[in-house]
Chain A
Amino acid sequence: MSLETFAAGFLDIALDVSFAILGFAFLATLLRIYRGPTLPDRVIGLDMLTAIAIGFIAVIGIDTGYTLYVDIAIALGLVGFLATVAFARFILARGGGDDEEKAS
């Protein structure tokens, strides 16, 4: 077995395993968003979801050679950053904290 065939097969296996692990991470983050006792927990979960989506885009790009989505990854990172900043401003303006979460 030459080095080239080994490299191609290893890359295939590694990409499949990466897909599985990313799917697990996606589900775990969704579970945190569902349970997340407070609003900032859910905001962190959404931030994490954009990171996982960018990872998916990168792995899909390696797997299929269809790298058009890299632009979308950059836009997704920008939107995720702006959304987190806006949510931080909203949390700061809303105030309340733990007591309000318990009262509601």
Chain B
Amino acid sequence: MAGAIILILAALLSLTGSIFVAIAAIGLLRLPDLYTRMHAASKAGTVGSGMMLIALALVSAGSAEALRAIAAVLFFILTAPISAHLLAKAAHAAGYRLWPGSVLNEMPALDVAPMPPDAGDGMVGSPDAQESDGGAAAPHGAPPQIAPRGAA
């Protein structure tokens, strides 16, 4: 009885985990720029693989593998935000622009990397900086030039 319930729970967890991973992959394909893609991949991807590892821990409960699977889940929860944050910060500092439909960029340009000369007034790109891979169109029509950079 209890074993059957654990099997059903593991099946549901592995199904939901794989659906989360698929949502992350679809977001990676469909979202318009680097930063939104990172948001999809790091959050939904971590939740998906973590759920599948918890399903494995449930099925092999009591063995050493269950403990290892739990340790792996904890490790991913610990490291995924760090790597995503580091990559986003490096890309922002290196001068990769935000999607023109972004409404807020509170982070001033860092001085660690040589900035392109025309990126001085905020990272909100001109319309020709839009992605050329057929991403989603801007939801507000023509992207307004909102540059609330810093406190000014």
Interface set of A (CB-CB < 8 Å, partner B) = 3-4, 6-8, 10-11, 13-15, 17-18, 21-22, 24-26, 28-29, 31-32, 35, 37-38, 40-41, 43-45, 47-48, 51-52, 54-55, 58-59, 61-62, 65, 67, 70-71, 73-74, 77-78, 80-81, 84-85, 87-89, 91-92, 94-99
The interface residues of chain B lying within 8 Å CB-to-CB of A65 are 60
Residue of B21, B42, B113 near A95 (CB, 8 A) is B113
Nearest CB of chain A from residue B60's CB, rounded to whole Å: 6
**How many A-B residue pairs lie within 8 Å, measured between CB atoms?**
223
Contact between chains at B65 and A7 (CB < 8 Å): no
Known: A14-B14, A58-B55. A44 touches B94 (CB 8 A): no
Q: How many residues of B contact A (CB 8 A)?
A: 70
Contact between chains at A29 and B28 (CB < 8 Å): yes
Tell me the interface secondary structure of chain A in the complex. helix
Known: A45-B28, A55-B17, A74-B71. A84 touches B87 (CB 8 A): yes
Supply 27 A–B pairs (Cβ within 8 Å), ascending by A: A11-B10, A13-B11, A14-B12, A15-B14, A28-B26, A32-B29, A35-B133, A40-B38, A43-B87, A44-B38, A47-B45, A48-B28, A51-B21, A51-B24, A52-B21, A55-B48, A58-B17, A62-B10, A62-B56, A70-B53, A73-B53, A74-B71, A77-B72, A92-B113, A97-B94, A97-B113, A97-B116
